[in-house]
Structure 1
């Protein structure tokens, strides 16, 4: 069979007309035959992004009990309908781990058959077929055992899994590796200007949040503040030593968030938002000093709310969208995990319960 000409962005697998980029597409072509620059992965595990999984969990919770079967059925329905995993409510997906089973002759990714890899591009643009009905998943967590296949394009990104870490741990780290890399870059800009910043991380006890705190400290932040939603999270974060101050505040309450950060030594020069619930935009802006920077790493962020909210508050802040990619981000995040016992304890604790 002769395939039509491919495009490194994956445009050739978009079934929408007129054509759009794969992430924006309603449905992708999931045929297993490869174009010259593609790679096919035998999928071992999916990692749903936090915002997407929380939405599914909330939708299928009754009387405090999550219906895991219903969560699993909805994920299967999304993948079957769209040819990719893209939550229609949040627009987000996640990433996967698997083994390379075929490489096109013109693939620029540097992968070989048999490599065990984590994809560093979103499931929202990755052609995906599930072949086992997700029979090994109870629907009660973000990591999803899976047998099926996925396709990477010429401009996709993947990293070979390290031998010294459990694959589930590597996947959890790589899923959020863009956050610490961009945090380090922004903090480094302040340090380079002779202004070591105060950094507040909203959601500091989570995966991306804990790595961002570690990155801020390593990049030379003068002070780090971890914001968590309740005392149980604070009790987990405090012993790690990642934050100079840990404060409890509801990030959806703008005044409470502003005041909590102020009491801890703020306002922050850099505020990093890593929570997976909507409604945190105003508080992040209020917690940030004039001419400061807010980095939004949550897929639950409303960017109109952030922009219009800052305008309405006459807040002179720079707002950055964390797009999940910074060169070298996966290796950097794994280095932070290996080098900081507190980060590793947080990750392993979340994986095991």
Structure 2
């Protein structure tokens, strides 16, 4: 493409949701559903270019890649590079999910409405599965054994994307971990508040209660006025982590994929739950969550490993009158809420910092 042609392309009207970046199938998909995006760093007028510092792969995607390659970090790294090179974005073809990134704003288009300025250090609050991305360092600083990926490259935000400036009082690594799951506590807070407004203090069950989204969800539930809080974890080691906090009234060690095992364990801990939050990154938790939830209750599925067909058909087959919500990762004010929880709640912060030290 000549320089004149390139100029004409970049000054033609763009779509605020990124349709102009869809290469395959052209004009037929939004960026998340598209197979291939144009990741070139030249901007349309309403876009923003980010110099990438760190990618954070979502838990379900990283688990799938690790299991596929039997823990071979080099093979995981090679597949991530291959996915980005082929698709122009980081979207696991099995899970469909991506993650998020931290970087520095390098250029702001004159029509951008995101409120960002060159030099801002930001975390993107939209998935890597729809973010045009180029990697320029072959991920040479990453061993393929952690969700956090040191990287160099460029990413593009659309006119309707979301990004948050990194808080100055948290390390970039900690801020990235928090913002990666910030949609979960915000939605939990909203749902619990609905119960409180109706005059009840709901029992809240969190599957994966010692994890990132799980611990934040427990903290948000407590602040929103939940009554009993039950955290489910898969191992005694995870239970010890959660028992060392005030986040849960009861900590249950159970297999979240076992329908009867989970429901019986939750009942013994004071269930069934009025609100169940699924934060585990393995498939097969859909129907157990239904059985552990009271009639008229709400289930929030916050795992990209969830089969929503299994959840819906399972509830139908069990004659379960439950409201099922898909945690889509966005609630207005979600980043500020999650960061403030970490600032205020020493237990949550300790759990997050412990995971940082492990990785």
User: In the aligned structure 2, how far is the partner of 1:163 from the partner of 1:42?
Assistant: 19
State whether structure 2 residue 237 is matched by structure 1 residue 232: yes
State whether structure 2 residue 298 is matched by structure 1 residue 293: yes
Give the secondary structure class of the aligned counterpart of 1:2.
helix
> Corresponding residue for 1:242?
247
How far apart are 1:5 and its partner, in Å? 2.1
Q: Give 2:142's match in structure 1, choosing from 132, 137, 141.
A: 137
Q: Give 2:331's match in structure 1, choosing from 326, 331, 339.
A: 326
Correspondence 1:146-165 to 2 at 5 A: 146-165=151-170
Give the secondary structure class of the aligned counterpart of 1:24.
coil
> Corresponding residue for 1:14?
22
Q: Is the 2:60–2:281 contact (alpha carbons within 8 Å) kept by the matching residues of 1?
A: yes
Give the secondary structure class of the aligned counterpart of 1:332.
helix
> Corresponding residue for 2:57?
48
State whether structure 2 residue 144 is matched by structure 1 residue 112: no
Give the secondary structure class of the aligned counterpart of 1:42.
strand
> Corresponding residue for 2:38?
29
State whether structure 2 residue 325 is matched by structure 1 residue 316: no
User: In the aligned structure 1, how far is the partner of 2:217 from the partner of 2:300?
Assistant: 11
Gaps of 5+ in 1: none
How far apart are 1:18 and its partner, in Å? 4.5
User: In the aligned structure 2, how far is the partner of 1:73 from the partner of 1:151?
Assistant: 23
Residues 309-353 of structure 1 show CA distances to partners (whole Å, capped at 9, x for unaligned) of: 000000000000000000000000000011111111111111111
Give the secondary structure class of the aligned counterpart of 2:225.
coil
User: In the aligned structure 2, how far is the partner of 1:83 from the partner of 1:19?
Assistant: 17
> Corresponding residue for 2:67?
58
RMSD (Å), alpha carbons = 0.6
User: In the aligned structure 1, how far is the partner of 2:119 from the partner of 2:38?
Assistant: 24
Give the secondary structure class of the aligned counterpart of 2:107.
strand
> Corresponding residue for 2:8?
2
Residues 65-114 of structure 1 show CA distances to partners (whole Å, capped at 9, x for unaligned) of: x2110000000000000000000010000000000000000000000000
Residues 106-158 of structure 1 show CA distances to partners (whole Å, capped at 9, x for unaligned) of: 00000000000000000000000000000000000000000000000000000
How many corresponding residue pairs?
349
User: In the aligned structure 1, how far is the partner of 2:8 from the partner of 2:120?
Assistant: 28
Q: Is the 2:19–2:27 contact (alpha carbons within 8 Å) kept by the matching residues of 1?
A: no
> Corresponding residue for 2:206?
201
Which consecutive aligned stretches of 4+ in structure 1 deviate over 2 angstroms post-superposition? none
Q: Give 2:258's match in structure 1, choosing from 253, 256, 266.
A: 253
Q: TM-score, normalised by structure 2?
A: 0.97
How far apart are 1:302 and its partner, in Å? 0.2
Residues 242-291 of structure 1 show CA distances to partners (whole Å, capped at 9, x for unaligned) of: 00000000001011111111111000000000000000001100000000
